């Protein structure tokens, strides 16, 4: 890859190295400069510019990042589209992420242009949470380096073990001095943990603190088909020969391991009875705060290995609480985990098609109504929901979308212009949406891949709060808007969209270059429709 300082006239097709303002437009680094871009730069008095040009054996940053990401993603892991040389991996469900650290290190050792960063192995994650990111540092990577990194990835280093629903029993023991409120607190803490992980406490027994009454309670839990039996003693387990381990052995079970290098949580007991797991709980399990019991419970409910060696391997990262003599308190600052944005796709389909003379969205193209192309692209994309705003010929449009999993909302004021449909679509979006992707129903060439690239570019916290599709410097549709703009968009009037907002926020715009003229092609006239139908 070459870095050059060139006259603007010679920079067509080169990659912009530094952000550059040209009048009201802000061109961000990484932009492939078009002839139109160069005209704007010259008109702004810019004559010289720093650019990069790829060599013949270079692979562009987005292609390289996506190819690596696809090989890094294992079970229950979703790959996001690549943007600015970055491709993220996301959890498809709640569970534990498992990382092959040796493979990650091997990928990162190939070339300084290639980086792979992940969460720590066995991190508990929620659906949509980011698990890893592949970032190509420069604008391209040498093909030989990419091929080497791809060859390293003989298996995916990032996997997710989903939490499985299980039936759980809780057996607590009591002394004469044990207060019922303490037992209730224990049950509540256990139930809260299980509920958050999708499992259920189906049986609870409270018995005297001695092996004899514990044994039948264990057998009852086994007969009830419990997958996991939790035992909480009136006093902490101090030895393999203590009350709870003795009861487990009397019931026919065997002790796998006692103790673990996690604080709090040291006094945890792991045992088996047939194929059923039994856990003797440490006293800290009564607390809702993170402790060693959580580490063991997560692994069990995720169906991961849980052996004596696994417990003994939990020491790194196992220091969870403060001890009185430590001079520096642990930083407990809360933070938000990175997650995939929740995007609502809004297909605007309420117009009267005055230039066409009939409802263009109902016109057949290759055997299906025109409106289905935009809607099916939204459904096939990584958008989380698809909303269709109807108005003119609402019943016919609804029939044309039969069988598609969309939410249809009617705009009774459609005759007042496009702005009313924008407002109607925004009103249908729920509170959890981070952004709204506005699609026009008469743009059949817009596909799921382009929509996914817009979603990948969307990062309001990084200054990319408006993501729009473009082609060779010309801006088009769709446009993805962050929630912060919803109020301003809802105040629009007349037959206009939200384009007038773009000039006010040039620094928040990310242009996503399309591979075709799809963002610029709408079907407004009979001639445009005929041309579309004539395409092979």
Which CATH number is 74's domain given? 3.90.1170.30
- Whether 297 and 441 share a structural domain: no
Annotate 1-44 with DSSP letters as a single string.
Answer: -EEEEEEGGG-TTPEESS-EEETTEEEPTTPBPPHHHHHHHHHT
Whether the bond into 128 is cis, omega within 30 of 0: no
47 and 71 within one domain: no
Torsion of CA 28, 461, 84, 1, to 10 degrees: 60
Give the least confident one: 77-81, 102-106, 292-296, 323-327.
323-327
Does residue 304 lie in a domain region?
A: yes
CATH number, domain of 24, equals 3.90.105.10
Q: Does 214 lie in the same domain as 353?
A: no
* Overall domain count for the chain: 4
Who's near 488: CB < 8 A, 6+ residues apart?
498, 501
Tokens of 8: 């603007």
Same domain, 228 and 182: yes
* Closest among 52, 49, 46 to 32, alpha carbons compared: 52
Terminal Cα distance for the chain, rounded = 38
Share of the chain above pLDDT 90, in %: 87
Give a yes or no: residue 332 inside a domain.
no
pLDDT at 533 > cutoff 60: yes
Same domain, 121 and 191: no
Q: Within this chain, do residues 65 and 123 fall inside the same structural domain, yes or no? A: yes
pLDDT at 323 over 60: no
Per-residue pLDDT band for 325 (boundaries 50, 70, 90) equals: very low
Averaged pLDDT score across all residues of the chain:
93
pLDDT tens track for 206-234: 999 999 999 999 999 999 999 999 999 99
Domain range for 226 is: 167-312
Confidence (pLDDT) at 330: 39
pLDDT of residue 448: 97
C-alpha dihedral (428, 433, 438, 444), degrees to nearest 10 = -100
Question: Following DSSP, what letter does each residue of 196-243 receive, concatenated?
Answer: HTT-EEEEEEEEESSHHHHHHHHHHHHHTT-SEEEEE-SS---STTSH
The pLDDT score that the predictor gives to residue 497 is 66
Q: Which of 192-196, 414-418, 471-475 has the highest mean pLDDT?
A: 192-196
Domain CATH number, residue 473 = 3.90.550.10
Same domain (yes/no): 140, 124: yes
| Alpha helices (H) in 390-516, listed in sequence order | 394-400, 418-427, 448-457, 486-490
Same domain, 355 and 479: yes
Q: What is the pLDDT of residue 333?
A: 34
> What's the confidence (pLDDT) of residue 337?
65
DSSP 465: -
| Residue 354's pLDDT band (cuts 50, 70, 90) | confident
d(CA 216, CA 213): 6
**pTM assigned to the model:** 0.87
Domain identity same for 7 and 116: no
Shared domain for 75 and 105, answered yes or no, is yes
- What pLDDT is stored for residue 281 in this prediction? 97
Inside any domain, residue 322: no
Q: Are 33 and 11 in contact (CB under 8 A)?
A: yes
pLDDT recorded at residue 1: 86
Six-digit token string for 108: 């990162």
Q: Are residues 79 and 29 in the same domain?
A: no
* 122 in the same domain as 27: no
């Amino acid at each position: 890859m070459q870095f050059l300082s060139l006259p603007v006239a010679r920079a067509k097709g080169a990659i912009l190295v530094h952000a550059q303002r040209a009048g009201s437009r802000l061109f961000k680094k990484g932009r492939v400069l078009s002839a139109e871009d160069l005209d704007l730069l010259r008109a702004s008095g810019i004559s010289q510019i720093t650019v990069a040009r790829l060599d013949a054996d270079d692979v562009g940053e987005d292609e390289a990042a996506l190819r690596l990401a696809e090989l890094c993603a294992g079970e229950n892991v979703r790959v996001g589209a690549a943007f600015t040389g970055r491709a993220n991996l996301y959890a498809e469900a709640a569970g534990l992420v498992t990382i092959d650290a040796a493979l990650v290190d091997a990928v990162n050792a190939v070339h300084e242009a290639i980086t792979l960063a992940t969460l720590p192995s066995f991190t508990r994650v929620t659906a949509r949470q980011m698990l890893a990111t592949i970032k190509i540092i420069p604008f391209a990577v040498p093909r030989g380096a990419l091929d080497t990194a791809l060859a390293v990835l003989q298996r995916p280093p990032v996997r997710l073990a989903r939490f499985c629903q299980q039936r759980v029993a809780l057996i607590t023991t009591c002394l004469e001095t044990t207060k019922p409120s303490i037992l209730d607190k224990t049950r509540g803490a256990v139930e809260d943990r299980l509920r958050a992980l999708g499992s259920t406490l189906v049986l609870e027994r409270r018995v005297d603190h001695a092996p004899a009454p514990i044994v039948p309670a264990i057998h009852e839990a086994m007969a009830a088909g419990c997958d996991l039996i939790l035992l909480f003693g009136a006093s902490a387990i101090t030895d393999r020969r203590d009350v709870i381990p003795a009861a487990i052995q009397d019931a026919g079970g065997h002790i796998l391991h006692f103790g673990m290098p996690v604080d709090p949580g040291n006094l945890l007991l792991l045992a088996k009875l047939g194929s059923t797991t039994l856990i003797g709980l440490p006293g800290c399990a009564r607390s809702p705060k993170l402790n060693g019991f959580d580490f063991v419970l997560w692994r069990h409910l995720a169906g991961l290995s849980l052996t004596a060696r696994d417990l003994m391997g939990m020491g790194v990262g196992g220091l969870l609480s403060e001890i009185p003599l430590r001079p520096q308190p642990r930083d407990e600052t809360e933070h938000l985990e990175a997650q995939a944005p929740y995007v609502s796709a809004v297909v605007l389909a309420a117009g009267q098609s005055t230039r066409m003379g009939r409802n263009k969205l109902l016109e057949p193209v290759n055997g299906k109504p025109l409106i289905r192309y935009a809607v099916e692209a939204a459904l096939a994309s990584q958008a989380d929901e698809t909303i269709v705003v109807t108005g003119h010929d609402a019943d016919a449009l609804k029939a044309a979308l039969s069988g598609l999993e969309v939410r249809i909302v009617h705009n009774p004021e459609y005759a007042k212009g496009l702005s009313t449909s924008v407002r109607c679509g925004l009103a249908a979006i729920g509170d959890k949406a981070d952004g709204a992707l506005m699609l026009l129903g008469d743009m059949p060439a817009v596909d799921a891949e382009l929509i996914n690239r817009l979603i990948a570019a969307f990062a309001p916290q990084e200054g990319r709060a408006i993501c729009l599709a473009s082609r060779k410097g010309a801006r088009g549709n769709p446009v993805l808007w962050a929630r912060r703009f919803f109020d301003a968009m809802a105040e629009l009037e007349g037959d206009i969209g939200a384009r007038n907002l773009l000039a006010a926020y040039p620094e928040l715009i990310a242009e996503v270059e399309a591979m075709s003229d799809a963002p610029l092609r709408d079907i407004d006239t009979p001639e445009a429709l005929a041309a579309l139908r004539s395409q092979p």
